[in-house]
Amino acid sequence: MKNTQNQKISQIKFETLVVGIDIGKETHYARAFDYRGMELARLLKFSNTDQGFERLGQWMRDICKQQEKTGIIVGFEPTGHYWFTLGDHLKRQGHKLAIVNPFHVKRTKELDDNSPTKNDRKDPKTIAMLVKDGRYREVYIPDDIYQELREAVSERERLQEQLTSIYNRVVRWLDIRFPEFTTVFKDWRRNASLITLRSFPTPEKVMEMGVDKIVETWRKQMKRASLKRAERLVKVASRSVGRTSGKVASEVSLQNLLAEYDLYCQQYDKLEQLMQELLMQVPNADKLLDIKGVGLITAATFVGEVGDISRFQDPRQIQKLAGLNLVENSSGKHKGRTTISRRGRRRLRHSLFFSMIAILGKNQEFRLLHQRNLMRENNPLNKMQSIIALCGKLIRVFYAILIKGVDYSPEKMLGDMEQSIRVAA
């Protein structure tokens, strides 16, 4: 990966055609420039269709022929998902792709006309100029298994959000209709509580059933049925302060929520199985699961978000990709606070952070490193700083395992303790 600005600028040569594209949902706008920033053709307006893409290709080929250009680099803003189809098409055509930061476009669009005007003619030029000056990052579109994993991780996140939403809505329903329910069942997602909600969800129906029928119903669908719990349920139902008006429609609403919950749980289980099958196809990825505290979701999210790890020369590049690199705000005698950049792949950053919290509860080596960070004499870290530093350590461990194919070694990790301390400092 060519990451420095000088290296990026060096790729823009006399024979390079720089194309800036303003991405839209249905229509895109393109302008073409040479390495000095001189425009070589009129603005092109093309549709987000096969015919539009062919028109763009012919337009670029004609310019290359007229201006004696042999290479093309295409730059655009990552405007949501609208660039995916065009990006895939240009990649298949063998063109080099570059993404510019929308914040940079916003800040530099006034250089030409000293006006904050934003339009479809102005933006493509601003994008192309940023690419010409090396202010871009290369587009990485994962191939095959990595794209499959990334899609699976994204879908899992969506299902998890749906399950969380349903959980909260059921809790709300219970707070309104049967607030005493939670004194008998701590979690409505457990087997006994689910059977209860499906069969006799309201205090009135609990009273109608009685203790014996409740126990009988439980025994039909579970191995152990607690008589004491049934008695307690009937007791709290007899004193319930839950709302009783509109109970017929509210019960229908609850049953619909429970049906949705069952459906999403089934989809979630199938997706986790798919993620495991996909992860096992990535070289050395199974070795990540040997680290105590690292589960399927953590490993799959890391591999899916990072993609082909061989494209990185140093694990610090992955740390920057996750937005976990340290940044400092200092000037003159003022020394600002050092924080993480938070610029990068949000899902990767969140996964590493929450995974580290789980790892600290199970993995002795990481706990020792955490304690060392907190208790060291020189520049001790607080808990949050230590967790961020250990996320960087976890990235280096993952990188070594995936690149070299080595097995996880607790001894090697503890021996590398000083490096973790220097990164956190």
Same domain, 264 and 289: no
- pLDDT at position 160 over 90: yes
Question: How large is the average pLDDT for residues 97-108?
Answer: 84
Both 106 and 219 in a single domain?
no
Choosing from 141, 162, 186, the residue where a domain stops is 141
User: Which of 199-208, 261-270, 309-318, 328-337 is predicted least confidently?
Assistant: 328-337
Which pLDDT value is given to residue 104? 80
Per-residue confidence (pLDDT) for residue 1, from 0 to 100: 44
CATH number at residue 36: 3.30.420.40
Number of domains in the chain: 3
Q: Which long-range contacts (CB under 8 A, 24 or more apart) does 268-272 make?
A: 268/156, 268/159, 268/160, 268/163, 271/152, 271/155, 271/156, 271/159, 272/156, 272/296, 272/297
Do residues 193 and 305 share a domain? Answer: no
- Cα of 107 vs its chain's centroid, Å: 27
Task: Report d(CA 197, CA 216) in Å as an integer.
Answer: 15
Asked whether residue 256 falls in the same domain as residue 304, the answer is no
Other Cβ atoms less than 10 A from the Cβ of 344: the count is 18
Query: Encoding tokens for residue 413?
Result: 């990790």
- Quick one: pLDDT band at residue 336, thresholds 50, 70, 90? low
- Tell me which of 92, 121, 141 is where a domain ends: 141
Task: Tell me the residue range of the domain where 394 lies.
Answer: 285-424
Q: Are residues 106 and 172 in the same domain?
A: no
Q: Which range (26-40, 250-264, 320-334, 367-381) has the least confidence? A: 320-334
Q: Is the pLDDT of residue 11 over 50?
A: yes
pLDDT of residue 141: 82
Name the 3-class secondary structure at 4.
Answer: coil
107 and 163 share one domain: no
Q: Residue type for 131, please?
A: V
State what percent of residues in the chain have pLDDT above 90: 75
Residues 270 and 308 occupy one common structural domain = no
Element at 396 (helix H, strand E) = helix 383-404
At 80, the amino acid letter reads G
Q: Which of 92, 114, 141 is the C-terminal boundary of a domain?
A: 141
Q: Stretch 368-381: mean pLDDT, rounded? A: 88
Q: Are residues 91 and 15 in the same domain?
A: yes
- The mean pLDDT value of the chain amounts to 90
One-character DSSP codes across 253-315:
HHHHHHHHHHHHHHHHHHHHHHHHHHHTTSTTGGGGGGSTT--HHHHHHHHHHH--GGG-SSH
pLDDT value at position 80?
A: 82
Contact 87, 78 (CB under 8 A): no
More reliable by pLDDT, 135 or 175: 175
Q: Are residues 90 and 205 in the same domain?
A: no
> What is the CATH number for 245?
1.10.287.4070
More confident residue, 337 or 131: 131
Kindly state whether residues 41 and 74 are assigned to the same domain. yes
pLDDT range class, residue 424, cuts 50, 70, 90: very low
Considering the domain architecture, whether residues 122 and 203 belong to the same structural domain is answered as no
DSSP run (H or E) holding 417: helix 417-424
Could you tell me if 298 and 393 lie in one domain?
Answer: yes
Three-state SS at 351 = helix
Residues of the chain with pLDDT > 70: what percent? 93
**pLDDT at 153 (0 to 100):** 95
